[in-house]
Each structure stands twice: as structure tokens, then as C-alpha cells.
Amino acid sequence: MRALVPLAEGFEEIEATTVIDVLRRAGIDVITAGLPGTYIRGSNNIQIVADKKMDDLNASDFDALVLVGGNPGYKNLGKSGKIKDAIQEFDRKGKTIAAICAAPSVLCKAGILNNRKATIYPGMEKDIPRPRGKRLEVDEHIITSQGPGTAMEFSLKIVEKLAGASKAEMIKKQLVF
């Protein structure tokens, strides 16, 4: 299993590092992709060096796409045609798509949330068509979550989807969650 985690300038650091760490603990091959380059600064001024540039990757080589929020990170993700194309391709193929915090609005921009339940950062409900107030929402192959405080359960749900419930339970115990 391979997961692609695009990181745009202004990404939310807690969400990104939690997703990357938890998925890697589960044995999932996680590749971080910087937009536009490999040195990406988060919304709280923490700089991360991404594994690759998004422009150098082919999204179809991955089993899951995970979008993190942060301001202006989610806006920068939403401006990328490559991200929009990847979201639409993953949706057509029924591959796992996960978005946390404000990033579900990027899924909406890509046109894949029209008939699906999703959640988003509190106060941004108008940015998606069928908002739910839950911390985590799963609708078929799409996982959405509300923000930094939900990053662990969001990450564990992605592990469950990609590697199975027993692997997610094992990681949960290791993390004392």
C-alpha cells in the first residue's frame, strides 16, 4: 500500500506529521509531495522537507490520497490542477481519499462531495454540500475529519481502510490511544 500526502505552503503541521507517522508505523509506504517545491513551511512556521515535488509524481501510482488542512495550505491545495485531477481520478477508481480540517473543501472544489456525507473544520460547513457535525465521517472510500484534535483517529481510520482493522488496533495499542 502506498499513500500520497501532498503538502502545500501553510499546511497544518499536527495533521501532516500525525498522518505520516501513523501510516508509516502501520507499514504503509507514505510519500510526501511538496507544492510547489520540496521545502514547505507549515501554518505554524515549521518547515518540512517533502520526499518529492508533486510535479514529479504520478498520482495513479498510489492507493490513497491524504489531504491535510491548515491555512493557507488548504487554499494552496485547492489551486493545484494536479491535486484536482488526482482527486477525480481516485474517486473514479474508488481509491481511498482522506481529507482533514479545511481540506474537505478541496474535495468539494473537485466535485466529488455532491452526494456524499462529509465533515469539515467547525465554522466551514457552508464549504461542503452535506456537512455533518461528527469528528470523523466515512462515506464509501472517502474519509473526512474536523481538524488537528482529530488527527489521530483520522490517521487510524486510514490505516483501517488500507491495512485492516487488526493493524489499526495494533497501532492504536502501541500508541496508547
Q: Would you name the residues annotated as active-site residues?
A: 101
Which helix (DSSP H) or strand (DSSP E) does residue 7 occupy?
A: strand 2-8
Could you count the other beta carbons within 10 Å of the beta carbon of residue 39? 11
CA pair distance 149, 153, nearest whole angstrom = 9
Q: Which residues contact 154 (CB under 8 A, 6 or more apart)?
A: 15, 18, 19, 98, 100, 136, 143, 145
Say which residue the cell 507499514 belongs to.
27
- Cα separation, 175 vs 15, in Å, equals 16
> What gap in Å lies between CA 94 and CA 85, rounded to an integer?
14
Angle between helices 165-174 and 13-25 (to 10 degrees): 110
Exposed, middle or buried: residue 115 (CB in 10 Å: 0-12, 13-18, 19+)? exposed
